[in-house]
Amino acid sequence: MKLVVAVLKPFKLDEVREALADMGHLGVTVSEVRGCGRQQGRTEIYRGAEYAMNFLPKVKIEVAVPDDQMESVVEAIQATANTGRIGDGKIFVMTIADAVRIRTGERGQPAL
């Protein structure tokens, strides 16, 4: 099993969620986060004064998938979240040692 974590622009959330749902991945966790990468934030002007916005608003999506579906999930997220501009985000893939469904006690892939 793999945990796919994607950090992306907030306005892309609905498109990515729909792409994952179309693939049958309905269970996702979404968090509002702030961060910066190579773009190093941006500057904004408020009432004539310039402010540095070092951390930009992002959305983090986490989805647990079977090993054989990991590549297609990564490709779907990448294709859907891509705007071609700096700050599109990152996708991370981690191995899951085990999963347990709290309600039933199922373990492993059936718990997904």
Task: Set out the domains of the chain in order of their start, with CATH numbers.
Answer: 1-109 (3.30.70.120)
Q: What tens digit of pLDDT does each residue of 50-103 get?
A: 666 677 889 999 999 999 999 999 999 999 999 998 889 999 999 999 999 999
> Hey, how many other C-beta atoms are within 10 angstroms of the C-beta on 66?
13
Q: What predicted TM-score, i.e. pTM, was given to this entire model?
A: 0.84
Residue 63 is predicted with a pLDDT of: 97
Contact (Cβ atoms closer than 8 angstroms) between residue 55 and residue 69: no
